[in-house]
Amino acid sequence: MPEAQTPPAARRVFVYGTLRKRGSNDINLLRPAPRYVGMGAVRGVLYHVDWYPGLTLGGEDAITVVGEVYEIGPALEAVLDGIEQIEAGPDSEYFKRELDIDVQGRQLRCLVYEINPDRVRGRERIGHGDWILFHGTP
């Protein structure tokens, strides 16, 4: 009988744009379903790229950017990579980062999709750091 394999560990993802609840790519409608952990915040700059935002992390112009944190498995992470157009090399639209995110007073290690800085040159900054508030999603 083959040995039982341990399923890959779930990880957390911080979503700040269209993947947020009620966003056009609402993560809650994707499969396999994520598990909501809580609201989170990170320091960075949020940009209006087109019908979606992009986040650059840190920097001297950084503000608090809000989002939601979910626990996801590898299959959903692969779906998210497709949505975010992750590809090898410096021309990828987004890059995957892991960092500690403040989630309702706790520091949790999360995956963050950071926009390629080349994609936001000349784009409008969202000064309050909340895509849902900016975009007017119901």
Average pLDDT, the chain: 92
Query: What whole-number distance in Å separates Cα of residue 100 and Cα of residue 57?
Result: 12
Q: What is the dihedral of CA 8, 30, 112, 45, to 10 degrees?
A: 180
Q: Check: pTM over 0.85? Answer yes or no.
A: yes
Q: Has residue 100 got a pLDDT over 80? A: yes
Domains and CATH numbers, the chain: 11-135 (3.10.490.10)
pLDDT of residue 8: 59
Residues 3-19: tens digit of each pLDDT: 555 455 789 999 999 99
Q: Give the three-state DSSP class for 104.
A: coil
Q: What is the pLDDT of residues 6-63, one digit of tens each?
A: 455 789 999 999 999 999 999 999 999 999 999 999 999 999 999 999 999 999 999 9
pLDDT for the residue numbered 7: 52
Q: What pLDDT, on the 0 to 100 scale, is given for residue 108? A: 97
Q: Of 42, 56, 7, 21, give the one whose Cα is nearest residue 135.
A: 21
